[in-house]
Amino acid sequence: MNLIIERLGHLGDGIAHGPDGPIYAPQMLPGEVVEGELQGDHLTGIRIVTPSPLRVKPPCVHARTCGGCMMQHAANGFVAEWKQGIVQGALQGQGITTLFRPIVTSPPNSRRRATLTARRTKGGSLLGFHARGSDVLVAVPGCHLLHPDLIATFPALEALVKAGGSRTVEMQMTVTRSLSGADVVVVGGKPADAMMQMDLARLTEAHGLARLTWNGEAVALRTMPMQRFGRALVAPPPGAFLQATAEGEQALLQAVAFAIGSARKVVDLFAGVGTFTLPLAERAEVLAVEGEAAMMAALDKGARGAEGLRRVTTQTRDLYRRPLEADEFKGFDAVVIDPPRAGAEAQMRVLAAARVPVIAAVSCNPATFARDARILIDGGYRLDWVQVVDQFRWSPHVELAARFSRSV
Ligand SMILES: C[S@@+](CC[C@H](N)C(=O)[O-])C[C@H]1O[C@@H](n2cnc3c(N)ncnc32)[C@H](O)[C@@H]1O
């Protein structure tokens, strides 16, 4: 069956027009003529009859088998335009148009935090990512996505799998690069009795990992895994949110700082461990609000230990159940808001009426961002600009920063 790929779906699959509706063809590009066998609404055994001029040779040796990257077959410029198009489309769906600042894409080998899957095998261990749409694990020693410091932890992770992994249950191993070594969080390892805990602690020491958390328990701490945010050093709790690349974090921070300009009193909502709060506190007083008490404590300690910051106050609060109320925004001249994928509908409804002059919004979900943007615009805000910040290179994931303003 011969088909022409018309567009890409949100997961990066090519979509062709079939007699009974859309047909999905993974890793194809718009304009390509392809043939293959139809299985339900998916094309399999695909042969490209006419390739797109935007098709490139995937840079990674694992690209054919590994499911970690979905877009390595497409030229960088195409992926950038496609991602910006997803945001434009989501906004248009809400009747919104705006200016776009140039996209910033993180370089290859810059991911400083990743979750790998691992399993004990007869001969030792297998560590990597799942193959596309499959439970087969693919080892990725030549990965083009991960920071070299993360790849350098593979021998340590493999040793941990041998020490405490099961042959039947897969383990999730989240590794975060820190200033003082890797911070490793393992879920799905065998229960760690005293002997095993000693073994895991010995491996942490021997491989120079900073900290090991095993099935939710802190089993080894060689040294605190520190992160720097501006002038502050923070020790995030295990598994705490961190932007995926240092370059992406800087791009988001620059966009947020540009958006709020000379604001002197700022609220940072969904503040995490202080990605925005701490650098912004070099020139503004900041109230940081976040749902996780341990993250707030880490931010607070980091702020108190840093020199020359303006006043930073913290509040642990569930912003879905108890959004900040309109009168709590009195006296603030800017809001930074960076919610999880679900967005922040309840908080945006209050913000829309609270009349803070500037809102810098960061989002990892264009659909909920567009919904929340509509709420702000209906409340009297303008959407001044949007900037796509692509920290998830070669994936269909999209992140952005945006500025809303109003005359008070
Ligand atoms: C996308 S992260 C952003 C964190 C921070 N702004 C950063 O850039 O590192 C979203 C944050 O929202 C927090 N969060 C999730 N649900 C929440 C809730 N209901 N109330 C308050 N914070 C919440 C998470 O713990 C996480 O730190």
**349 Cα–ligand 1 center, Å:** 18
Distance 295 CA to ligand 1 centre (A): 9
pLDDT value, residue 134: 87
Q: Which of 304, 160, 150, 146 lies closest to 235 in space, CA to CA?
A: 304
Could you tell me how far CA 282 lies from the centroid of its own chain? Answer: 25
- Give the pLDDT of residue 267: 98
| Matching residue, tokens 């940081």 | 288
Give strand pairing partners of 314.
Answer: 288
**217-221 β-sheet, strand order:** 137-139, 125-130, 113-120, 171-176, 183-187, 211-214, 217-221
Residue 145: name the closest of 400, 394, 390 by CA. Answer: 394
Q: What is the pLDDT of residue 123?
A: 87
- pLDDT digit of tens for each residue in the chain (408 aa)? 789 999 999 889 999 998 889 999 999 999 999 999 999 999 999 999 999 999 999 999 999 889 889 999 999 999 999 999 999 999 999 999 999 999 999 999 999 999 999 999 998 999 999 998 888 999 999 999 999 999 999 999 999 999 999 999 999 999 999 999 999 999 999 999 999 999 999 999 999 999 999 999 999 999 999 999 999 999 999 999 999 999 999 999 999 999 999 999 999 999 999 999 999 999 999 999 999 999 999 999 999 999 999 999 999 999 999 999 999 999 999 999 999 999 999 999 999 999 999 999 999 999 999 999 999 999 999 999 999 999 999 999 999 999 999 987
Tell me the DSSP string of 52-121.
-TTB---SSTTTTTBSS-S-TTB-HHHHHHHHHHHHHHHHHHTT---EEEEEEEPPTT-B-EEEEEEEE-
Report the pLDDT value the prediction gives residue 126, as an integer from 0 to 100: 96
Ligand 1 pocket at CB < 6 A: 241, 243, 270-272, 275-276, 290-292, 295, 318-320, 338-340
| Count of CB atoms situated within 10 Å of the CB of 61 | 13
Look at ligand 1, atom 5, and give the residue with the nearest C-alpha. Answer: 272
The yes-or-no answer on residue 364 being catalytic is yes
Give the C-alpha distances (Å, rounded to integers) separating 32 from 14, 22, 25, 49. Answer: 9, 15, 11, 7
Ligand 1 center to 242 CA (angstroms): 10
310-321 as b/e: b if 16+ CB within 10 A: eebebeebebee
* Structure tokens, 118: 């691992």
From first CA to last CA, the distance across the chain in angstroms is: 60
CA dihedral 30, 31, 33, 37 (to 10 degrees): 20
Query: Residue 218 — φ and ψ, nearest 5°?
Result: -75, 110
Query: Out of 66, 69, 143, 364, which one is annotated catalytic?
Result: 364
Query: What is the spatial distance between Cα 314 and Cα 181, in angstroms, rounded to a whole number?
Result: 28
d(CA 136, CA 134): 5
What tokens were used for 325? 């109320």
Q: Which of 260, 269, 270, 320, when mutated, tests ligand 1's pocket best, judged by the most ligand atoms within 8 Å of its CB?
A: 270
Would you say 72 and 63 are in contact if contact means Cβ atoms under 8 Å apart?
A: yes
